[in-house]
Structure 1
Amino acid sequence: MPNRIILNETSYFGKGAIESIAPEFNARGFKKAVVVTDKDLIKFEVATNVTTLLDEAGVDYEVYDGIVPNPTIQNVKDGVEFVKNSGADCIIAIGGGSPIDTAKAIGIIVTNPEFSDVISLEGVAATKKPCLPILAVPTTSGTAAEVTINYVITDEENHRKFVCVDPHDIPIVAFVDSDMMMGMPKSLAAATGMDAMTHAIEGYITQAAWEMTDMLHIKAIEIIGRSLRDSVNGVQSAREEMALGQYIAGMGFSNVGLGLVHGMAHPLSAWYNIPHGVACASLLPTIMKYNKDFTGEKYRDIARVLNIENADTLSLEDVRNAACSAIDSLSKDVGIPATISELGVKAEDIPQIAQDALRDVCTPGNPRETNLEEIIELYTSLM
């Protein structure tokens, strides 16, 4: 079976990248946009960095700022009605994964109204038309939603998150500007940064990995490993590196999928509204250890780009342990909770949460085949 790779059309990187938004909008002949973002990004004048440029260029737009963390089916439906009523012919999505993911779902339904229930978009939906064009401006260094063909929506009624995979949803332009990421508090920089590391590591060891995505993921691990600590401490050059690292990871995992970390993280967010990056980060070191004997030489590659001493000469067992320890140390250094009980997880919920994790679309990509009992043990060990 041939390997497939899909990448977005155009991206701008570096300080001042957002200054290209209005020129791109005009060059593509758009008439009106809906800016999809959240109230905090409006309140703290992050989104206004973009809307000010739109105002100066005379771009016609309306703002839909009703996005919540772990966006819901109702969030999407409300956004669809807003966009329809606005008469807009494109979306400008500003934020982390939540606004950009919501924008993808909105854009898909506007052009493919047969999926208006939202839930039918789960998995690989048979949409026929590209979504309403999206110009994406990330404000966190983690999700890479601006370059992926994936998005995640929360089904509140059934306490679960579902993943949608659709080449029709990829933003046509991304503006990856470190200035837009400087407002992240330390906790958010840490959580989204460890999410990016999770994307890179899971994408590197997933069952569908191949040479082209390996190239992307190993470079992303290198960049994130050297820059995350400084990024959390607010160093702009490091945040610029993180913006690039998370984007490169997104280019990879979007095409080959992820694994058990994401499979187990999604239900934690759905049950307890834990931010996705925090959930992934709390799980990653433990799941790396769980997978280590099923990864061939890939943990040696990881150890090498993380500058672990003697990575080339250590035994396979030792180098795998060293790679796991390095990620564990990185997670602790940036302040990620060491247990999921700190995040509010209740022991009595674990059997059902584990069922949800086993059914998650990311879980089958894990290099080690798993089962319900082992997932329960993993969650329990993290309490």
Structure 2
Amino acid sequence: MANRMILNETSYHGKGAIEAIPTEFIARGFKKAAVITDKDLIQFGVADKVTGLLDQVGIEYEVFDGIMPNPTIENVQEGVTFVKNCGADAIIAIGGGSPIDTAKAIGIIVANPEFSDVVSLEGVAATQNPSLPILAVPTTSGTAAEVTINYVITDKEKQRKFVCVDVHDIPVAAFVDSDLMMGMPKALCAATGMDAMTHAIEGLITKGAWEMSDMLHLKAIEIIGRSLRDSVAGDAKGREEMALGQYIAGMGFSNVGLGLVHGMAHPLSAWYNIPHGVACAALLPTVMTYNKDFTGEKYREIAKALGVAGAETKTIEAIREEACGAINQLSKDVGIPATISELGVKAEDLPAIAEDAFRDVCTPGNPRDTTVEEIIAIYQSLM
């Protein structure tokens, strides 16, 4: 079977990347934008940095700022109504994973109205038309939603998250500008950064990995490993490097899938409204240890990318332990909670949460096949 790579048509990187938005918008013949974002980004003036550029050249737009963390079915439905009513022919999505994910679902439904029931998009939906064009502007350095064909929506009624994978939803252009990421609070910077590291590591060891995706994921691990601590400390160069590292990880995992960390993180977010990056970060070191004997030489490559001394010559058993230890230390250094009980997880909920994790679309990509009982045991070890 052939391996497939799907990426943005165009992407801009580095400080000032957002200045290309008006030129790109006009060159593509768009007339009016629906700006999709959240109230915090409006309140703190981050979205204004983009809409101000539109104002300067007279691009017409309307703003929908109702996006919530862990966006819901209702969020998507409200956004679809907004976009249809405002008559936009393109979307500009500004934010972290939540606004960009919601924009993908909105854009797909507007272009494929037969999928107006958002749940019908779960998994790999047979949409026929490309999304209403999306220009994605990330403001966090972790989700890589601007370069992926995936998005995640929360079903509040059923207390679950579902993943949608659609080749038609990738933004046509991405503007990865670290200037927009400088305002991230330390905790958000840490959580999204560890989410990016999770993407890189799971993408490297997932069952669908191949040489081209390995190249991307190893480079992402190297960049994130050397820059995340500085980024969390507020260093401008660290945040610029993280903006690139998380994007490179997204280029890879979007095309090959993820694994058990994401499978277990999704229900934690759905049950307790835990930020996705925090859930992934809390799980990553333990799940890495769980997987270590099923990864061939991949953990040696991770250790080399992280600069672990002696990675070339130590036994595979030893270097697997050191790779896990290096990620565990990174997680501690940036302040990730060591237990999931700190995040509000209740022991009595674990059997039901584990069932959800086992059924998650990401779990089958894990290099080690798992069971509900083993997932429960992993959760329990983190309590």
Which TM class, normalised by the smaller chain length?
Answer: over 0.9
Code of the aligned partner of 2:129:
K
The answer for the alignment partner of 1:198 in structure 2 is 198
Aligned to 1:331: 331
- Does the alignment pair 1:273 with 2:267? no
Work out the CA distance in 2 between the residues paired with 1:316 and 1:14: 38
1:298 aligns to 2:302 (yes or no): no
Taking the aligned partners of 2:164 and 2:218, their CA distance within structure 1 comes to 25
Q: Deviation at 1:318?
A: 0.5
Structure 1 counterpart SS, 2:124? coil
Partner AA of 2:8 in structure 1: N
The one-letter code matched in structure 2 to 1:370 is T
Alignment of 1:251-262 (within 5 A): 251-262=251-262
Letter in 2 for 1:67: I
* Equivalent in the alignment of 1:52: 52
State the Cα distance separating 1:305 from its structure 2 match: 1.0
Please name the residue that 1:104 is paired with: 104
| Mapped partners of 1:25, 1:8: distance in 2 | 15
Superposition deviation, residue 124 in structure 1: 0.3
Query: In structure 1, what is the equivalent of residue 234 of structure 2?
Result: 234
In the alignment, which residue of structure 2 is the partner of 1:73? 73
Partners of 1:28 and 1:249 lie apart in 2 by 27
The one-letter code sitting in structure 2 at the alignment partner of 1:293 is D
Distance 1:140 1:333 in 2: 19
The correspondence of residues 209-220 of structure 1 with structure 2, limited to 5 A, is 209-220=209-220
| Count of residues in correspondence between the two structures | 383
1: CA distance, partners of 2:313 / 2:151: 41
Q: Which amino acid aligns with 2:98?
A: S
SS in 2 for 1:228: helix
**Whole-angstrom CA distance in 2 between matches of 1:232 and 1:57:** 35
Task: Measure the CA separation in 2 of the matches of 1:302 and 1:29.
Answer: 44
Matches within 5 A, 1:356-371: 356-371=356-371
Q: Does the alignment pair 1:87 with 2:82?
A: no
Aligned to 2:181: 181
1:135 is aligned to: 135
For 2:92, what is the secondary structure of its paired residue?
strand
> Which string of whole-angstrom CA distances, capped at 9 and with x for unpartnered residues, describes residues 112-141 of structure 1?
001101000000000000000000000000
Q: In structure 1, what is the Cα distance between the partners aligned to 2:333 and 2:121? A: 38
Tell me the residue number matched to 1:123.
Answer: 123
Report the Cα distance in structure 1 between the residues aligned to 2:306 and 2:25, rounded to whole angstroms.
40
SS class of match (2:164): strand
Cα distance, 1:287 vs structure 2: 0.1
1:168 aligned counterpart, secondary structure? coil
1:23 and 1:136 mapped to 2: Cα distance?
14
* Distance in 2 of aligned mates of 1:17 and 1:171: 16
Opposite residue 102 of structure 2, the aligned amino acid is T
Look up the SS of the partner of 1:167 in the other structure.
coil
Q: CA deviation at 1:145?
A: 0.3
Distance in 1, Cα, partners of 2:23 & 2:126: 33
User: Shift in Å at residue 20 of structure 1?
Assistant: 0.4
- Shift of the alpha carbon at 1:204? 0.0
Q: Do residues 246 (structure 1) and 246 (structure 2) align?
A: yes
**Structure 2 equivalent of residue 62 of structure 1:** 62
Q: In the alignment, what sits opposite 1:12?
A: 12
SS in 2 for 1:157: coil
Deviation of 1:361 after TM superposition, in Å, equals 0.1
Distance 1:7 1:13 in 2: 14
Instruction: Give 3-state SS (helix, strand or coil) of 2:91's partner.
Output: strand
Q: Matched residue of 2:338: which SS?
A: coil
Structure 1: runs of 5+ lacking an equivalent: none
One-letter amino acid of the structure 1 residue matched with residue 347 of structure 2: A
* Deviation at residue 304 of structure 1 after TM alignment: 0.6
Alpha-carbon distance, 1:57 to partner: 1.2
Distance 2:340 2:134 in 1: 35
1:252 is paired with a residue whose SS is: helix
What's the CA shift string for 1:27-83, capped at 9, x where partnerless?
Answer: 111110000000000001111110111111111000000000000000000000000
The DSSP-based 3-state class of the residue aligned with 1:29 is coil
Give 1:8's aligned amino acid.
Answer: N
Cα distance between partner residues in 1 of 2:121 and 2:305: 38
DSSP-derived class of the 1:71 partner: coil
* Equivalent residue, structure 2, for 1:349: 349
Match of 1:374 in 2: 374
Report the Cα distance in structure 2 between the residues aligned to 1:57 and 1:177, rounded to whole angstroms.
20
Q: Give me the TM-score of the superposition, normalised by structure 1.
A: 1.00
For residue 2 of structure 1, report the CA deviation from its aligned partner: 1.2
The Cα of 1:5 is off from its aligned counterpart by 1.0
Unaligned runs of 5+ in 2: none
Q: 1:338 deviation in Å?
A: 0.2
Fraction of identical pairs, as percent: 79
CA distance in 2, matches of 1:110, 1:80: 6
AA aligned opposite 2:237: S
**Cα distance in structure 1, aligned partners of 2:208 and 2:107:** 28
